Amino acid sequence: MKYYIISGEASGDLHASNLMKELKSTDPNADFRCWGGDLMQAQGGDIVKHYRDLAFMGFYEVLVNIRTIFRNIRFCKRDILEYRPDVVILVDYPGFNLRIAEFASGHNFKVFYYISPQVWAWKKSRVKKIRRFVDRMFVILPFEKGFYKKYDVDVDFIGHPLLDAIENEKKNLSDHADFRLRNQLDHRPIVALLPGSRKQEISKMLPVMISLVDSFPDYQFVVGGAPSLPKAFYNMLMLENSMCVLFDQTHELLLNAYAALVTSGTATLETALLNVPQVVCYRGSNFSYQIAKRIVDIKFISLVNLIMDREIVTELIQKDFNRETLKTGLTQILLPDTRKRIFNDYLQLKKKLGGSGASKEAAGLMINYLQ
């Protein structure tokens, strides 16, 4: 069968690539045309557009890039018509993907949505579009099934694919000593800095994070670099700080980390599943934040706290994200009592997410629905 898959960011590239792997195991004639990244390409996907050219974050950023976005949408529609897939599989990325869902459904293509948009947080009106234009939704967060049920949308809860991705990587990762030797790191405990995946957010987050280096001389700070950005970009932000920046080693970095400072996003959940105490941080443009504050209907910004429905990791947002509050937050998660409490909470989190096998479950259901 022919699969047209659209992912607009790094996490979507990861989960879509694992889905493609499972689809191939059941459908040896699978043919993939994709909007995504290197991981999807490694699974045999013909990449039409790379996600690095699609990632516009926040209301202001979307506004100034609106012409590019609409040009991409027009191109995508033409490309689908030329490719004639058996199914269009949309991976999160709602602003773009819901427009494509309407178009694809209107042209009688099957539409599957893998990893729900966060409609439970804002723009609940999007559920109406999902009900009209999406043939089947596959959700990965335990509370999403109940949310959709309120709107008479029957969805499949498959568990979280991060559990699979992390377990697969653990099997192939080297031991701690080799990791330090290979990356020229010393014996001190590691504080991982995950400032995000897009230029706009990294520019705001990383300078504040690295301002703590001198206050914690007994620890070494290591930056997890976004694979789509050059080392020179990080050097420009770090100035006199000659810190280690590691690319394509985020999970291995977290496995070796004692603590982490993490920009809100999927990375907060990855950090929790790898059992690393963390402080969650976020600062966007003031314009975007003021709009979001008025329309977003959630108590927390991190997936960790949202899934648990209580604060198990500290969140520092906008003005609250500064050197002093971050220093206090990091000091806290280095304390034995705090760490013990976080580890217990992480255990409950993993139980809520269900077991492994999400990618295989999704692939099996998709092929059954198509047949």
pLDDT band at 63 (very low <50, low <70, confident <90, very high): low
Query: Which residue has better confidence, 119 or 245?
Result: 245
Angstrom distances, CA of residue 362 to CA of 19, 161, 270, 354, 357 = 7, 9, 20, 14, 9
Q: Find the helix or strand (DSSP H, E) in which 330 lies.
A: helix 323-333
Q: What integer pLDDT is reported at residue 243 of this predicted model?
A: 85
Taking only the tens place, the pLDDT of each residue in 155-211 is 999 999 988 878 777 776 656 678 999 999 999 999 999 999 888 889 999 999 999
Taking only the tens place, the pLDDT of each residue in 312-358 is 999 999 889 999 999 999 999 999 999 999 999 999 999 888 778 89
Rg (CA), the chain: 20
Q: Strands (DSSP E) along 256-369, which ranges?
A: 257-263, 278-282, 314-317
Taking only the tens place, the pLDDT of each residue in 250-267 is 999 999 999 999 998 889
- Average confidence (pLDDT) over 287-304: 64
Quote the pTM value.
Answer: 0.76
pLDDT at 297 > cutoff 80: no
Query: Which residue has better confidence, 248 or 23?
Result: 23
Taking only the tens place, the pLDDT of each residue in 212-234 is 999 999 999 999 998 878 888 99
Instruction: Please list the alpha-helical segments (H only) found in 211-302.
Output: 231-238, 250-255, 266-273, 286-295
Residue-wise burial string across 143-181, b where 16 or more C-beta atoms lie within 10 A, e elsewhere = ebbebbeeeebebbbbbbbbbbbbeeeeeeeeeeeebbe
Q: Which domains does the chain have, with CATH numbers?
A: 2-160+356-370 (3.40.50.2000), 165-353 (3.40.50.2000)
Q: What integer pLDDT is reported at residue 142 of this predicted model?
A: 87
Taking only the tens place, the pLDDT of each residue in 88-145 is 999 988 889 999 999 999 999 999 999 998 877 667 778 999 999 999 999 999 889 9
In this structure, are residues 296 and 282 in contact, taking their beta carbons and an 8 Å threshold? no
- Average confidence (pLDDT) over 275-296: 71
pLDDT at 302 > cutoff 80: yes
